[in-house]
């Protein structure tokens, strides 16, 4: 090992990315350890706080198309900026967006109010029927369908 001394910190944050050792696959299908960027925890936290600030659950007067028009540009921006490297790190934030949409649906529709799972399935059916409605649904991060 050519490394001098002991340096336990093998990661750093820069411009919303965390650079750290991650498992990668080469062109022959073999796995190896690579030092690559992915969205940082701090950036994920900021995005989740932004979703919370939107207060989707307090907008039952809006249709899902209206929500799509309001929030798609921001979600698409996050996907374009942070999705360039290690896109799967972003999935937790996008699943958080889906949970916020489930809360919105439960507030909007009386028949879904008491049933979280039913609201998830309802949203999943919409995602399956119109996958281009929300930016993160296009990349496959959609609610579950029964």
Give the global pTM.
Answer: 0.88
Q: Per-residue pLDDT tens for 21-30?
A: 999 899 999 9
Q: Per-residue pLDDT tens for 75-109?
A: 999 999 999 999 999 999 999 999 999 999 999 99
> Average pLDDT, stretch 126-141?
95
The band of 6, judged by pLDDT with boundaries at 50, 70 and 90, is confident
Q: Does the pLDDT at position 2 exceed 70?
A: no
Q: Which residue has the tokens 């050792």?
A: 21
The two tokens of residue 35 are: 């030092």
Buried b (16+ CB within 10 A) or exposed e, 105-126: bbbbeeebeeeeebbbbbbbeb
Q: What does DSSP assign to residue 54? A: H
- Which of 126, 146, 145 shows the shortest CA–CA distance to 64? 126
The band of 1, judged by pLDDT with boundaries at 50, 70 and 90, is low
DSSP structure string for 80-146: HHHTTS-GGGGHHHHHHHHHHHHHHHHHH-GGGTT-HHHHHHHHHHHHHH-TTSSHHHHTT------
The band of 3, judged by pLDDT with boundaries at 50, 70 and 90, is low
Q: Are 20 and 35 within 8 A, CB to CB?
A: yes
Q: Per-residue pLDDT tens for 136-145?
A: 999 999 998 8
Per-residue confidence (pLDDT) for residue 63, from 0 to 100: 96
Q: Are 141 and 91 within 8 A, CB to CB?
A: yes
Q: Where are the domains of the chain?
A: 39-138
Q: Per-residue pLDDT tens for 33-74?
A: 999 999 999 999 999 999 999 999 999 999 999 999 999 999
């Amino acid at each position: 090992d050519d490394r001098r001394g002991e340096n336990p910190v093998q990661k750093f944050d820069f411009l919303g990315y965390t650079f750290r050792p991650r498992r990668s696959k080469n062109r022959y299908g073999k796995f190896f350890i690579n030092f690559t960027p992915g969205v940082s925890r701090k950036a994920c936290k900021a995005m989740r706080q932004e979703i919370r600030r939107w207060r989707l659950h307090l907008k039952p007067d809006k249709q899902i198309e209206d929500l799509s028009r309001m929030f798609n540009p921001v979600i698409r921006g996050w996907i374009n900026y942070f999705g360039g490297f290690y896109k799967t790190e972003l999935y937790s934030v996008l699943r958080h967006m889906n949970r916020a949409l489930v809360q919105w649906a439960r507030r909007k529709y009386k028949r879904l109010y008491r049933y979280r799972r039913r609201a998830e399935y309802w949203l999943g059916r919409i995602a399956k029927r119109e996958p281009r409605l929300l930016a993160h649904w296009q990349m496959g991060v959609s609610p579950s369908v029964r």
